[in-house]
């Protein structure tokens, strides 16, 4: 897949665990883990907004495109 999810990098930069982020965003650990590993096919804008707010970042910080 040409879209690479950089959620793990942002979490590490912010020293935030998966459990802590899941609690702040209101997602289950499983769903957040699926997003982090790139197993999800899509993500809602409201979910992106919550993740960006919790990590104090921009959507472009979470995703990278590579051909």
| Average pLDDT of the chain, as a whole number | 93
How much of the chain exceeds pLDDT 90, in percent? 84
DSSP-derived secondary structure letter, 41: S
Contact 4, 22 (CB under 8 A): no
Each residue's pLDDT tens digit, 27-59:
999 999 999 998 988 899 999 999 999 999 999
Contact 34, 1 (CB under 8 A): no
Mean pLDDT, to the nearest integer, of 6-28? 95
| Three-state DSSP state, 63 | strand
Strands (E), 8-62: none
The answer on pLDDT for 1 being more than 80 is no
> pLDDT value at position 48?
95
CATH class as words, domain 3-65: mainly alpha
């Amino acid at each position: 897949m040409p879209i690479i999810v950089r959620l793990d990098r942002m979490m590490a930069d912010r020293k935030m665990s998966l459990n802590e982020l899941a609690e702040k965003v209101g997602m289950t650990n499983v769903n957040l883990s699926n997003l982090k590993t790139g197993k999800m096919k899509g993500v809602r804008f409201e979910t992106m907004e919550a993740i960006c707010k919790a990590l104090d970042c921009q959507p472009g910080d979470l995703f990278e495109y590579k051909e």
